[in-house]
Amino acid sequence: MEKMKNTGGLNRGFTLIELMVAAGVVAILAAIAYPSYMAQMVKSRRASAETTLLDIAQRQQQYLLDVRGYAADVTTLKATVPSNVSTFYTVTIDPLPAGPPPTFTARAVPIAGTAQAGDVTLTIDNTGAKTPVGTW
């Protein structure tokens, strides 16, 4: 017969209480980390929309030099709105009356029902003024 090893009366493995404590710690960490992650994703998507608006504004200035007016839409500028922006924002150009001098406002409006729905509407105009001021 084989001798059984004496473990000193200690069982190897985890108890149910230890597993529940570990699961509770993981749940608390997830509850803290997930909202922070989502906030960072909103900021990242907003930054992409800001970059797109800046590109449109730059293209508008070049278009003004070439045609002596501003383009009425993104297609006229031969610009494309990236899919990571168009999924969450509607990007439009609002040319204002053609009276001297011509002007425009490009805006990115969050699409309802998406993760960006609660975000702000971003705008940039022909003077380079960006609104809302605190988010750019």
Q: How far is CA 104 from the centre of its chain?
A: 24
Fold of 16-135: Fructose-1,6-Bisphosphatase; Chain A, domain 1 (3.30.540)
- What's residue 5's pLDDT? 59
Q: Reduced to 3 states, what is the DSSP secondary structure of residue 74?
A: coil
Strand partners, 106: 93, 124
* C-beta neighbour count of 17 within 10 angstroms: 8
**What does the CA dihedral 58, 60, 66, 70 come to, rounded to 10 degrees?**
-160
pLDDT digits (tens), the chain, 136 positions = 555 555 555 667 889 999 999 999 999 999 999 999 999 999 999 999 999 999 999 999 999 999 988 999 999 999 999 999 999 999 999 877 666 788 999 999 999 999 999 999 999 999 999 999 988 8
Cα–Cα distance measured from residue 26 to residue 89, given in angstroms and rounded to the nearest whole number: 34
For residue 5, CA distances in Å to 2, 43, 97 come to 9, 59, 92
Which tokens go with 51?
Answer: 């970059």
